[in-house]
Amino acid sequence: MIATLILFAVIALSGCSKITQANFDKIGPGMSLEQIEAILGKGEMVLDSKKDVNALTGIMQMIPDEYQGKRVTKVKWQSVNKVIYVTFVGENCEKNIFKSAAFP
């Protein structure tokens, strides 16, 4: 009974995910974290790309911590089998990546 309830909750939550191709397409260069969070919800800071289980085969690791004198931050939004990474230079979105994956 409990396993059925847990399975139902997981399915219900995954169906409501904001981590979709349609929402990813709404994100563009120059957007602020607040603008993107209005679309995707609260993101999670990627503090160490080398230790991020879902980092994209070296792509996130190649992004420096500073670019043209501005701080670079990486934020991710993750659902059951999808993840969106956004890189910010200063306060603005510079690059975004959408990935469907089978997580361990």
The pLDDT, as a whole number, for residue 83 is 85
Write out the E strands in the chain. Answer: 44-45, 66-67, 70-78, 82-89, 92-100
With cut-offs at 50, 70 and 90, classify the pLDDT of residue 32.
Answer: very high
Q: Is residue 13 part of a domain?
A: no
Least confident interval from 2-6, 45-49, 78-82, 95-99: 2-6
On the 0-12 / 13-18 / 19+ scale of CB atoms within 10 A, 75 is buried
Q: Is residue 3 part of a domain?
A: no
Q: What is the mean pLDDT of residues 70-82?
A: 86
More confident residue, 44 or 58: 44
The CATH number linked to 44 is 3.30.1450.10
The rounded distance, in Å, linking the Cα atoms of 60 and 56 is 6
Q: Is residue 8 part of a domain?
A: no
Please state the domain count of the chain: 1
Domain span at residue 95? 18-100
Q: Is residue 24 part of a domain?
A: yes
Q: Is residue 11 part of a domain?
A: no
